[in-house]
């Protein structure tokens, strides 16, 4: 007689597997630039970018912060960048989507001072842009979509966008190692913020209530994603780049009046 055990999901964070082989290459195209963001909540940030490091300063109601840290930038579409830096002494990680042609940005702000990780979303306009400003909005367009993200030959993860605030996932590829066998049937559900940057381009910020969070920019037209894992583990602060090829599986539809929340 076999006892039926409950599923106890473990979030797909900081695995001992390759999560960046399929990541798009980093760029130094922003080197020498100064980007000023005016957040919609009244705060402001100045980013002075060198070839490898960013000098940053943020002013907000609760006080000012500044630092100089390494950064990583990837240009997914012309003028649209995923830009991340982390400050180990302040235990913060900041992931930006910079949409220069539209003069706007959206920022995932993470504070790893305790457990769980605290995550915030902030929209902003870019100083110096002459056109009209529209904040990068929340979106329901992904609801019902199924896709998987292949990070390498040993790591692929399926996404099911359940509703406007939740995502389901499960592993489809894992390393050929007995240690990973229990993950074959691992599943999870996480809270998610979905922001539409452009057609078929969405920023996902996931939060399972644990110490590490995933921020990922999904380009369904390019069929690639780029993102960062950030948080604190027993081994210390992690700021780990990830990136994958996207394969769209299908789109579920719902009859009128039965749409998810």
Annotated domain spans of the chain: 34-128+136-251
- Extract the tokens encoding 92: 């913060």
| Residue 13 pLDDT | 41
Give the integer Cα–Cα distance in Å for 156 and 151.
6
Q: Which stretches of 91-235 are assigned E, i.e. beta strand?
A: 92-99, 104-111, 118-126, 145-152, 155-163, 166-173, 187-198, 201-207, 212-219, 224-233
| Residue 4 pLDDT | 63
Tell me the pLDDT of the chain (261 aa) as tens digits.
Answer: 655 666 565 544 444 789 999 999 999 999 999 999 999 999 999 999 999 999 999 998 888 899 999 999 999 999 999 999 999 889 999 999 999 999 999 999 999 987 889 999 999 999 999 889 999 999 999 999 999 999 999 999 999 999 999 999 999 999 988 878 878 888 889 999 999 999 999 999 999 888 999 999 999 999 999 999 999 888 889 999 999 999 999 998 999 999 999
CA nearest neighbour of 224 among 145, 137, 139, 148: 148
Give the integer Cα–Cα distance in Å for 40 and 105.
10
Burial code (b: 16+ CB inside 10 Å, e: under 16) for 159-179 equals bbbbebebbebbbebbbeeee
Determine whether 36 is exposed, middle or buried from the number of CB atoms within 10 Å of its CB (0-12, 13-18, 19+): middle
Give the integer Cα–Cα distance in Å for 152 and 115.
29
Quick one: DSSP state of residue 210? S
| Residue 178 pLDDT | 81
| Residue 6 pLDDT | 63
Q: At residue 259, what are phi and psi to the nearest 5 degrees?
A: -70, 140
Cα radius of gyration (the chain)? 19
Helices (H), 14-68: none
Q: Is-contact 217 77, C-beta < 8 A? A: no
């Amino acid at each position: 007689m076999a006892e039926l055990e409950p599923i106890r999901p473990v979030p797909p964070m900081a695995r001992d597997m390759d999560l960046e082989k399929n990541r798009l290459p980093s760029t130094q195209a922003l080197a020498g630039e100064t980007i000023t963001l005016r957040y919609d909540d009244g705060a402001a940030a100045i980013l002075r970018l060198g070839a490898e490091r960013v000098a940053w300063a943020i002013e907000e109601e609760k006080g000012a912060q500044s630092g100089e840290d390494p950064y990583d930038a990837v240009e997914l579409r012309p003028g649209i960048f995923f830009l991340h830096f982390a400050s180990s002494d302040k235990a913060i990680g900041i992931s930006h989507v910079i949409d220069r042609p539209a003069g706007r940005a959206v920022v995932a702000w993470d504070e790893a001072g305790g457990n769980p990780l605290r995550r915030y979303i902030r929209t902003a306009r870019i100083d110096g842009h002459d056109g009209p400003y529209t904040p990068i909005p929340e979106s329901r367009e992904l609801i019902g979509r199924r896709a998987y993200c292949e990070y390498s030959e040993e790591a692929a993860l399926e996404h099911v966008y359940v509703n406007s605030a939740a995502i389901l996932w499960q592993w489809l590829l894992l390393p050929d190692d007995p240690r990973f066998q229990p993950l074959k049937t691992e599943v999870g559900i996480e809270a998610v913020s979905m922001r539409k940057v452009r057609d078929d381009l969405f920023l996902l910020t996931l939060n399972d209530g644990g110490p590490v969070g995933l921020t990922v920019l999904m380009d369904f037209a390019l069929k690639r994603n780029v993102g960062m894992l950030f948080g604190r583990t027993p081994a210390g602060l992690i700021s780990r780049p990830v990136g994958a090829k996207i394969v769209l599986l299908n789109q579920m539809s719902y009859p009128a009046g039965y749409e998810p929340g």
